[in-house]
Amino acid sequence: MPFPITISALSLPHLQRAHALLTTSGLISDLFFSNNLISSYSKCGSVSSARQLFDQILHRDSVTWNSLLSAFAHNNLFSDAFHHFRQMLISYVPPTKLTVIPLLKLCANTSHCVSTSRAVHSFVVKIGLESDAMVSSSLVGVYAKSGLLDEAKCLFDGMIDRDVVLWNVMIKGHAQLGFGKKSFLMFSELHRSGTLRPDAISVRCVLMGLETGREFEQVRSYGIKSCLLEDISDVITWNKRLSENVQDGKFDDVLNRFVEMKRKGVGVDNVTFVIVLSAVTNEECFELGKQIHVLAMKEGFHSDTPVSNNLINLYAKMNSLDAARTVFDRMKELDLVSWNSMISANVQSGLDIQSIDLFMDMTKNGFFPDHYTLTSILRACLGITASSSIHEQVHTICIKMGLLSDFFVLTALIDTYAEKGNMERARILFEGMDWFDHAACNALISGYIKNNDNSSALNLFASLHQSGGRSNDFSLATVLKACSGLVALQLGKQIHAYAVKLGFDSNVCVSSSILDMYIKCGNMLDSSAAFSDIHEPDDVAWTAMISGYVENGNEDYALNLFHQMRKLGLLPDEFTLASLVKACSCLAALGQGRQIHAIVIKLDHASDSFVGTSMMDMYAKCGNIEDSYELFKRMDFKNNVSWNVMVLGFAQHGKAGKALDLFNKMVSYGLQPDKITFLGVLSACSHSGLVSKAYNYFDSMFRDYGIKPEAEHYSSLVDALGRAGLLSKAEEVIDTMPFNASSSTYRALLGACRNQRNMELGEKIANKLLLQEPQDASAYVLMSNIYATSNKWDGVTNARRSMKCKNIRKDPGYSWIEVKNKMHMFVVDDKSHPENQIIYDELEDLIRRIKHEGYVPNTEVVLLDVEEEEKERSLYYHSEKLAIAYGLLRIPAPQKIRIIKNLRVCGDCHNAIKYMSKVSRREIVLRDGSRFHCFGDGKCSCGDYW
């Protein structure tokens, strides 16, 4: 039975092999071996392996529970330890002093745990362990470290057996809190006890609290007389204590002790500087680090190799790569650590090519890489072009040097191959591992997701779960991304439940991924619940929620959530602001958009190209093309997206000349137009009847720029021909397309058939459209319109009967207007508005006035077989007319009236609004389902061509 003797001394890879050997030999079922393994995993820092082994043990004793509890305490995992402790009590396993001591150790190492310490103390009393010397000593230590000296003293005074260590705890507690006199009195009491004598620690603690004065000299004299301070100038002993502080993570003590060394005139050596620089780097005391560098130069240790290596690490963590390189270049003698430090510093700074160059220089200088070198270089390979094969050369070096057994190297290789798209090689490496490693598994899952193979990622996760493997926070967060990519809501819910079961749902990464999964799956109800469960949502969570509402068509919710965010004093970042601007664009909420714009300027995000382009798009979609263009002109950097937004904006506003001029200017500046640019250009030609130009630009796409026209480009060309009445040419374009026509293309031609009253072609195109989309209401509605304009009422009846039989519903027409940051929606003959009566009075007055100016209702657009008077009456209360009447009542002159309609404006309303703009002397901007109409003084920007 050699394992218990040697197992605790093994490194993690060797420990894992020992674990495998115990498993295959059947000895793993022996609790003695299992408990030993748990403790050993803890000492190697692999708490996850210790926990996994614990979960596999069927019959656990108190030692098993205490071993894992000690592992949590050893690695300072406060929440996990106390959760485990509660589970232990639920399992009716009797606690021992070895249960309580790790909990008290955690309380001592964690700030703000006074209430927890007292709770543990109460539990100790309850189970009768308060008289145990070890437990009592631990309690005294906790209270003393927490500053509760009265409670510590009360316990201390009641103890029968008190050793020097316990006396020192009390002396140090008083000294650290500034009670130097009390620490001196306790020192004196210890000295008078007769049975115990103060030791070197007792002396140093009192001297630390006193610093000067008569008592200080008395204690110092006692220390020297008792040979307790004779090592005051022994740098080796001081270095040993500094090193112990570093190992215990007490970096502040290292710095304080170093200051004490200098104050007492103790000499320093290169080891001293190595230890102190390590502490400074861990504590991120960068300014102090610079001072120590100067001191090292003054003492002549700056050229020492280990000291220089630590200086490189310090400056790398400070992101001061130039200073690190200066130290490296001035070193008289380099070792492997020097090269690794410099390579790692370059990788951390994103200088991947430079790190690979350093690696090449290192090999030329006769140094052989180790696992640290190769792991850093593989990270650098992730940042260079996908076509690079350097990672394959590194892989070969790993094989030659026998380093593939190192799990850091292997995980880095799997991650690199996955990032480069070679999932087959990554999978082979993973399957060839002799042991299971979470990091490697997560790298493979992440690789599948990055390469859009979400199904394989979920399959790997499922096989991990089925084989008894335990997920960690990273694997859960990663696999939730796969659910998002597949829009697999039910599977995402199962993983959410699994995360709750494992206690990872409160983890920041996991909770954010749960939130993102629900949003990507369009389940805003559950995403809202997941958001509420996050204790303190960060900027990412707020932005995800806001953008999620926008993407799922809940723009009002997005804006309301932003107001909640502001009330909490949280500042939005550029991504949040871009999402909010998009919400305003969708709602055409110009007032709120302007408020967001003000916040953008206030927070100095106006220069961000992403936010700036979103603001341009918002103003354009809210009907304010002038402000959109002003923002465009002020932009310091204009990318393709900015130009495209402006071209599309002018096209939608019927300003074809400006759209095409902007396109020509874009090309003259050397920018390469893309498919979106040409959509804007073709749309501009379509809305303005520029058929020949539309053909020229369409041909130019592939001829001059190598862009193959897609379905949307053909649809725009068909629309341009249809609007111009060239129906046969439009049909010819559809017939000669290199792929099947899209539904939007057929709808464009069907709309043109309605305008031209071409019933024969309309029926033909409608049938083709219904073959593609049998539930498309627009095909029936457009055909019904064609029949109605030709007085074919039987055709109208049949179309409507078909819709009813197939349960197809036409989208209702509605219009809305923003007044004082509030949206007011109207439908035809709407009587639901609180100010309904005055709206109707205003509209009827408007109708009388525009009739007097020459307006004649266009009853041809009424698609009902009723009397002429009834047709005329039905036109008066269309939704856009009601919205305009309310706008004239509530929006003071000379502000523009801005209306949004979800469907195409009818011919009568278009004509009536021209007259309304004339009699009211107000500008009216209407955004319908296809474009903008800007009315003023009896005219429309579309030139009656829409």
Q: Which helix (H) or strand (E) holds 329?
A: helix 321-330
Nearest to 22 by CA among 14, 31, 33: 33
pLDDT digits (tens, 9 = 90+) for 359-380: 999 888 888 888 888 889 988 8
Average pLDDT of the chain is 84
Q: pTM, whole model, 2 decimals? A: 0.61
pLDDT, residue 646, reads: 96
Domains of the chain by residue range: 1-94, 233-333, 814-940
From residue 227, give the alpha-carbon distance in Å to each of 207, 221, 230, 244.
Answer: 15, 10, 5, 22
pLDDT digits (tens, 9 = 90+) for 273-323: 888 888 888 878 888 888 889 888 888 887 788 899 889 988 888 888 899
The yes-or-no verdict on residue 8 having pLDDT over 70 is no
Tokens of 454: 């979400």
pLDDT, residue 865, reads: 41
Reported for 467-474, long-range contacts at CB under 8 A and 24+ positions apart, including other chains, are: 468/56, 469/52, 469/436, 469/441, 470/48, 470/51, 470/52, 470/55, 470/502, 471/498, 471/502, 471/504, 472/48, 472/438, 472/442, 472/504, 473/504, 473/507, 473/509, 473/510, 474/438, 474/442, 474/509
How many whole angstroms separate alpha carbon 692 and alpha carbon 729? 12
Helix 407-419 and helix 390-400, axial crossing angle in degrees, nearest 10: 160
Q: Which residues contact 661 (CB under 8 A, 6 or more apart)?
A: none
CA-based end-to-end distance of the chain: 91
Q: Which helix (H) or strand (E) holds 168?
A: helix 164-176
Q: How many residues make up the chain in this entry?
A: 946
The yes-or-no verdict on residue 9 having pLDDT over 60 is no
How many whole angstroms separate alpha carbon 711 and alpha carbon 738? 10
Tokens of 276: 């102190």
pLDDT digits (tens, 9 = 90+) for 129-174: 877 777 887 888 788 777 788 888 888 877 877 788 788 888 888 8
Cα–chain-centroid distance for residue 94?
A: 44
pLDDT, residue 318, reads: 85
pLDDT digits (tens, 9 = 90+) for 454-503: 999 898 888 877 777 778 888 888 899 999 999 999 999 999 998 998 88
Nearest to 398 by CA among 372, 419, 380, 425: 372
The string of DSSP codes covering 127-150 is TT-TT-HHHHHHHHHHHHHTT-HH
How many whole angstroms separate alpha carbon 538 and alpha carbon 76? 25
Tokens of 456: 């394989």
* Secondary structure of residue 815 in the 3-state scheme: strand
The yes-or-no verdict on residue 700 having pLDDT over 60 is yes
pLDDT, residue 1, reads: 36
pLDDT digits (tens, 9 = 90+) for 827-849: 988 889 999 999 999 999 999 99
Phi, psi values for residue 225, rounded to 5°: -65, -40
User: How many C-alpha atoms does 907 have within 13 Å on its Cβ side?
Assistant: 13
Sheet of strand 932-936, all strands in order from the earlier edge strand to the far edge:
822-827, 814-819, 897-901, 924-927, 932-936, 939-940
**Residue 686, exposed/middle/buried by CB under 10 A (0-12, 13-18, 19+)?**
buried
From residue 558, give the alpha-carbon distance in Å to each of 493, 528, 544, 552, 572.
Answer: 24, 11, 10, 10, 13
How many whole angstroms separate alpha carbon 585 and alpha carbon 836? 27
Whether cis (ω within 30° of 0) applies to the bond prior to 894 is yes
How many whole angstroms separate alpha carbon 901 and alpha carbon 881? 11
Nearest to 445 by CA among 437, 433, 453: 453
Average pLDDT over residues 37-53: 80
pLDDT, residue 768, reads: 87
Does residue 661 or residue 781 have the better pLDDT?
661
Average pLDDT over residues 588-609: 90
pLDDT band at 929, cuts 50/70/90?
Answer: confident
pLDDT, residue 701, reads: 94
The yes-or-no verdict on residue 745 having pLDDT over 70 is yes
Q: Which helix (H) or strand (E) holds 734?
A: helix 727-735
Tokens of 270: 């290169």
Tokens of 257: 């002790």
**Runs of H (alpha helix) within 603-674:** 609-621, 625-634, 640-652, 656-668
pLDDT, residue 7, reads: 43
pLDDT band at 662, cuts 50/70/90?
Answer: very high
Widest pairwise Cα distance in the chain: 122
